[in-house]
Amino acid sequence: MGRTLVFGTSGQVGSALLELLGDQGIGIDEKTGDFLNPTSLLAALETHRPAQVINAAAYTAVDLAEKEEDKAHLINAVAPGVIAQWCAGHGVPFVHYSTDYVFEGSGVSARVESDPTGPLSAYGRTKLQGEKAVSEAQGKYGSKFLIFRTSWVYDAVGKNFFRTMLRLAKEKSELRIVSDQWGAPTYAPHLAAATLAALSSACAKPEFPSGVYHLCNQGVTNWFDFAQAIFAAARKRGESLQLEKAIPITTADYPTPAKRPLNSRLDLSKARTWLGVELPSWQAGLEQCCETFWRTHP
């Protein structure tokens, strides 16, 4: 199989993909691709003529997107559509990432792929528009695409909840953390490995199983309990934390410019059944993240 072109390799998932792909990966980040000028990305596709394409680039500043929806739309919706059209026209399998934010997040049941969407934020709207752009572009040619909705992505590097909680626990004696938003923290390297396994599985089938799939670490928790698990892991490894008290609060107690879904539970059975992929538990993801973090930040 030929090389895989990955867009967004400065991000958590994109960098993990590139590391796993090794010599078979080609990375495009914001320094080598202008995601605010989506048609310019065609130059990379024409130059490298990849056998597979994965788009991990996204505008993920959820609150800032309320003011910069036009910018978010270019990166999250227009760019994926442009890439998808090129892939469709050249018969190249294409993977794109979406998010739990496409749902309005009511109730307590896990969402399946066919459930009605209803994003609450500009970020969610632009990501849903990206899903539609990819589906429409690929549908015209009846070709090969996988859209993976995931949730709460983090890693041992970069700007994310894991790193933020560790920093704040060293700086503050008291933290107030939202406890009524439920979902699955997803470790970026686990998501990257599952993506490549799913793509390989899809390509090996007599008919490529194009469509939307939910893909994240297994299990469910809330931000407060996830933070508590992070603090416990840090103390277990001998970290000196200033934190004396963590207080669970509601979403209403912590207003933000963008509204968050309370229920981000995703049903993972479709990916398991059709693609044969399943990520480990979110606890296993956190444990591996901790091992990597403290190995590289002694």
Cα 256 to Cα 183: distance, rounded to the nearest angstrom: 18
Sheet with 145-150, strands from edge to edge, namely: 25-28, 4-7, 52-55, 94-99, 145-150, 211-214
Q: Which residues of 39-76 are buried (b: 16+ CB within 10 A; e: fewer)?
A: eebeebbeeeebebbbbbbbbbebebbbebbebbbbbb
Tell me the domains of the chain and their CATH numbers.
4-160+185-218+265-280 (3.40.50.720)
Length of the chain equals 298
Q: pLDDT by residue for the chain (298 residues), tens digit each?
A: 579 999 999 999 999 999 999 999 999 998 888 999 999 999 999 999 999 999 999 999 999 999 999 999 999 999 999 999 999 999 999 999 999 999 999 999 999 999 999 999 999 999 999 999 999 886 665 679 999 999 999 999 989 999 999 999 999 999 999 999 999 999 999 999 999 999 999 999 999 999 999 999 999 999 999 999 999 999 999 889 999 999 999 999 999 999 999 999 999 999 999 999 999 999 999 999 999 999 887 6
What is the predicted pLDDT for the residue at 14? 96
Q: Which of 97, 101, 123, 154 is catalytic?
A: 123
What is the predicted pLDDT for the residue at 146? 96
What is the predicted pLDDT for the residue at 53? 97
**Contact assessment for residue 181 and residue 224, using Cβ atoms and an 8 Å cutoff:** no
Cα 89 to Cα 107: distance, rounded to the nearest angstrom: 41
Model pTM score: 0.95
For the question of residue 123 being annotated catalytic, the response is yes
CA nearest neighbour of 95 among 233, 202, 242: 202
What is the predicted pLDDT for the residue at 174? 96
CA distances for 58 relative to 114, 120, 248, angstroms: 23, 18, 30
DSSP state of 38: G
The three-state secondary structure class of 41 is helix
Phi and psi (nearest 5°) for 272? Answer: -65, -45
